[in-house]
Amino acid sequence: MVSLTLTGGTFLTMAEHLSQRELDYPFKLLEYFNGFRISEAIFSACELGVFDLLLQSQKPLSAVEVAQKLGTSEDGIERLLDVLVAIEIVDVEVVQGTAFYSSTDVANLYLAKTSPKSLHDLIIYNSQTIYPLWNNLVDAVREGKNQNEKTFGLPSEEIFSAIYRFKNVFIKCARSSRFASYVILRCVAGCSGALARELAKEYPSSTVTVLDLPAVVQTAQQHFAQQDDTICFQEGDFFEGEIPPADLYILARIIHDWKEEKNLKLLKNIHTACHPGGGVLIAEALLFENSRGPTMVQMFSLNMLVQTEGKEHPPSHYTHLLTEAGFRDVQVCRTGKSYDAILALK
């Protein structure tokens, strides 16, 4: 009834061997120290609209022109543009001593707001929420709990209040699976509804419901109200309220936010509501079974410490959790990209 096909891939790793050369001079360490500057240079350019302007412009622009159009200082934008050139996100050509900047394919595809693959909202979320949280990583490690209170003055148990500070936040859930036609899909905690939109387009005869907290549903509806009449939004708390019956439940980056007992309760409730022969599809970043990688997932797990009450897990944890909740036939598929998939049937 439900099929899942994912292509394999290599795992992202940031590690390079720190060699003897590093003992002579700490080149790689200094790059690591500068990591936050690279992140913020891209985040700030996004926020200022640099990539949108360069995409829309019919010709390369000087720093003076960019400054005029974006309302920034000339000196500041020139330094920022030069850094973006250095990391190959912006192109430059120098004509008679003046530098003219233009966008790259990568920037047009991922950094301009209008691109369907735009990461703009993810970037704003990183810049305004996660970056300041990580300045309190020391306390997160000491206390073993998230730093929402210290960073934003928000109660630590309300792990999403920091995100909801920004009404326009909406994190794109990458669609990483194929389903047979005519399956009724329900997406628990659909966040922005981006995944729901993709599914409704692919399977027009299916019913797609997004169940999430009122604040999230209202934001998502603003994004999708016009173009997707096929998607039904339902306000509710998936830990406390009743879960509507469906064939497939998709939990995209839900489990990693919460403690084990909450997740078990949620999955048991889903199992009860699920149509016989249906199932649950979990999208999460999977650790290796021995927890020794992938690097990016270890990084996510540290992020969960700073930001939530959960963590990232290896496949066996999900198998255990799903089996305990009553599901069977657990299949784990690594995608080689940011998020992997776990499917289980009732």
| Chain residues 1-20 in contact with its own copies, contact rule CB under 8 A | 9, 12-18
Contact with its own copies (CB under 8 A): which of 132, 236, 314, 326? 132
- Nearer of residues 40 and 198 to its own copies, judged by Cβ: 40
Binding segment for its own copies (CB under 8 A), chosen from 141-149, 164-172, 176-184, 237-245, is 141-149
Least distance in Å: CB of 51 to its own copies? 12
The site map against its own copies for 18-37 (x = CB under 8 A) is: x---xx-xxx-xxxxxxxxx
The site map against its own copies for 87-126 (x = CB under 8 A) is: xxx--x-x----x----xxx--xxx-------x--xx--x
Question: Rounded to the nearest 10 degrees, what angle do helices 74-86 and 35-48 cross at?
Answer: 120
Which is catalytic among the residues 256, 271, 313, 317?
256
Least distance in Å: CB of 70 to its own copies? 8
* CB atoms inside a 10 Å sphere around CB 63: 22
Let me know if 313 is a catalytic residue: no
Least distance in Å: CB of 41 to its own copies? 7
- Residue 209, Ramachandran bin (φ over 0: left; ψ between -120 and 50: alpha; else beta): beta
Count of residues interacting with its own copies (CB under 8 A):
88
End-to-end CA distance of the chain: 12
DSSP 76: H
Tally: H helices and E strands in the chain: 17, 10
- Nearer of residues 33 and 182 to its own copies, judged by Cβ: 33
- CA dihedral over 118, 119, 122, 128, signed as positive or negative: negative
Cα–Cα dist 253/340, whole Å: 10
| Residue 231, φ and ψ in degrees, nearest 5 | -90, 130
Q: Is 292 in the site for its own copies (CB under 8 A)?
A: yes
Question: What residues are annotated to the active site?
Answer: 256
